[in-house]
Structure 1
Amino acid sequence: MASSCCRISPVISVFVLFMFFIFSVCPVESVSFNGSDQNFHPRKESVKMKFIRDRLMKINKPSIKTIQSPDGDLIDCVLSHLQPAFDHPLLKGQKPMELPERPKGENTTSSVFKENVQLWSLSGEFCPEGTIPIRRTTEQDFLRASSIRRFGRKIRRPIRRDSSSNGHEHAVGYVSGNQYYGAKASINVWAPRVANQYEFSISQLWVIAGSFGNDLNTIEAGWQVSPQLYGDNYPRFFTYWTSDAYQATGCYNLLCSGFVQINHRIAIGAAISPISSYNRGQFDISLLVWKVIILVLL
């Protein structure tokens, strides 16, 4: 993976879901309020709500169709070229690329492919060709955030490969080297009950480049249970990226510009269904990440 902009773009595929990453700094407005503070001065409250509504206008794009999900989500079918990615200065006026060729041995018509893997699609209703499904972001999503200014982005914390990082308990399996061109994982899907909205549970594939300092680049995909981000305890398919160790770039899903989605049947951030049950049926998702060389005329 390369950190130089617009030369090498990794691609993530989840059940024939293809998305491209453009690494560049996404501007973030400087606002001093915190979402967890409930004692707002009326004027400050007004400023806060204006900030939220301005952000919602940028995130939620006009749709040609809206699908109601059983879990309460609204899935908007947005024209592909109007998705948040194309607010990025390097992508303005562009359109989604053609589907790239998959690596040898990765057959798109494989029998393991299943379209109805999310709650919103169980009715058999999908977004039409030429659009992508986007989970609508609400004011309540912002108000749950511990920091409204950093909504949709990870809390900055030291990144370690052991299980003792600031109360963040985790198990990691990894390989290191510089001759890798992709990675694949099948991840079992569960719905662990977390204690409160400030806790979360996650299972993911993580591709890293750079050191563990400020030049860290990551591409992440998997499922997560995050009441703070989504308002419930459903396991949801997510993506994340950063090119500066979570300082000023990157975000979850489509909550900032720079990430292009192609598939019109998978909604990033939507709940996965079915899920595994103890001593009963097991369900997993397959994640495939590979590097594609893309030439861009500047």
Structure 2
Amino acid sequence: MINTLVVVLCLMIGGVSHVIYGIQNTLKEDIELEKQLKLINKPPIKSIHTEFGYIVDCIDINKQPAFDHPLLKNHKLQRKPNFGKTNAKTSPTRSIFGLDKNKCPSGTVPIRRTTKDDLIREKLLLNDDIMMQNAPGIHLAEVSLPSNYAPYYAVSGTTSIYNPRVNRKDQISLSNLWVQNGQGDTGNKISVGWHVLPYLYGDDATYIYSTWT
């Protein structure tokens, strides 16, 4: 009887240690995510709760996250281009963000507030191996340009947005445009497009996304 009690006690202690270790890891990850959110989300001049369920912050144009980049330190914001006419089209910012009935004050820029769920999705999105594990197969159609045409200074494209049915949670359907230099961990890649990805969002809706490494 004594030996049995000792064994049970040891098992209980081992189980408690494992639980505590798991809780510590979770807390550490949460603290790290909170630190990232404080760096990403700047103090807003005004916040707008959109009809889509997310929040758009109106950030001082001189304090937008782009200026956190070391190469843009002490950068002087140029309100108007110093060259001739441009073919750039005016972006329908208010419609894209769902701000038709509300808008940010002059001197601010609308930036969708990043949430903890967004950061978690980002990690999953950048890990193609996790997303595509157990996938039944990949069907790919692409148009690419050989590297001997480089250097590239800009790319553009037009894509139609669809909502194809995805039958399995580990499947993905997407259309995107990307620029890549190098391969694997040493490569740099910028990608933008739309995708249907139940594994990431928990539904079969179509989402606009962008990633960069």
The TM-score with structure 2 as length reference comes to 0.65
Structure having the higher strand fraction is 1
Q: Name the residue aligned to 2:209.
A: 238
Matches within 5 A, 1:1-298: 41-98=22-79, 106=87, 108=89, 114=92, 117-118=95-96, 120-121=98-99, 123-142=100-119, 145=121, 151=123, 154-155=126-127, 167-176=137-146, 177-178=149-150, 180-195=152-167, 199-208=171-180, 210-212=181-183, 216-226=187-197, 233-241=204-212, 250=213
- Letter of the aligned partner of 2:50 in structure 1? S
Shift of residue 167, structure 1, vs aligned partner: 4.8
Question: Is the CA contact 2:94–2:103 (under 8 Å) kept in the aligned structure 1?
Answer: no
Question: Is the CA contact 2:125–2:200 (under 8 Å) kept in the aligned structure 1?
Answer: no
Q: Secondary structure at the match of 2:111?
A: strand
Shift of residue 216, structure 1, vs aligned partner: 3.5
- Letter of the aligned partner of 1:50 in structure 2? I
State the 4+ residue runs in structure 1 displaced beyond 6 angstroms: 101-105
Q: Which has the higher contact order (CA 8 A, sep 6+)?
A: 1
- Letter of the aligned partner of 2:187 in structure 1? L
Shift of residue 237, structure 1, vs aligned partner: 3.6
Shift of residue 195, structure 1, vs aligned partner: 4.9
CA distance in 2, matches of 1:221, 1:103: 29
Sort the Cα spacing of 1:40 and 1:171 in 2 relative to 1 into closer, same or farther, 3 A.
farther
Q: Secondary structure at the match of 2:162?
A: coil
Sort the Cα spacing of 1:135 and 1:116 in 2 relative to 1 into closer, same or farther, 3 A.
closer
Question: Is the CA contact 1:81–1:94 (under 8 Å) kept in the aligned structure 2?
Answer: no
Deviation digits for residues 207-261 of structure 1 (CA, Å, limit 9, x no counterpart): 33x44465533332223344565665544443333xxxxxxxx3xxxxxxxxxxx
- How many residue pairs match? The answer is 188
Deviates more, 1:85-94 or 1:226-235: 226-235
Deviates more, 1:185-194 or 1:220-229: 220-229
Sort the Cα spacing of 1:118 and 1:108 in 2 relative to 1 into closer, same or farther, 3 A.
closer
Question: Is the CA contact 1:141–1:230 (under 8 Å) kept in the aligned structure 2?
Answer: no
Q: Secondary structure at the match of 2:53?
A: coil
- Letter of the aligned partner of 1:189 in structure 2? I
Unaligned runs of 5+ in 1: 1-37, 158-164, 242-249, 251-298
CA distance in 2, matches of 1:75, 1:231: 23
Question: Is the CA contact 2:67–2:73 (under 8 Å) kept in the aligned structure 1?
Answer: yes
Structure having the higher helix fraction is 2
Shift of residue 136, structure 1, vs aligned partner: 1.6
Question: Is the CA contact 1:79–1:131 (under 8 Å) kept in the aligned structure 2?
Answer: yes
Q: Name the residue aligned to 1:13.
A: none
Q: Name the residue aligned to 1:276.
A: none
Q: Secondary structure at the match of 2:159?
A: strand
Question: Is the CA contact 2:169–2:199 (under 8 Å) kept in the aligned structure 1?
Answer: yes
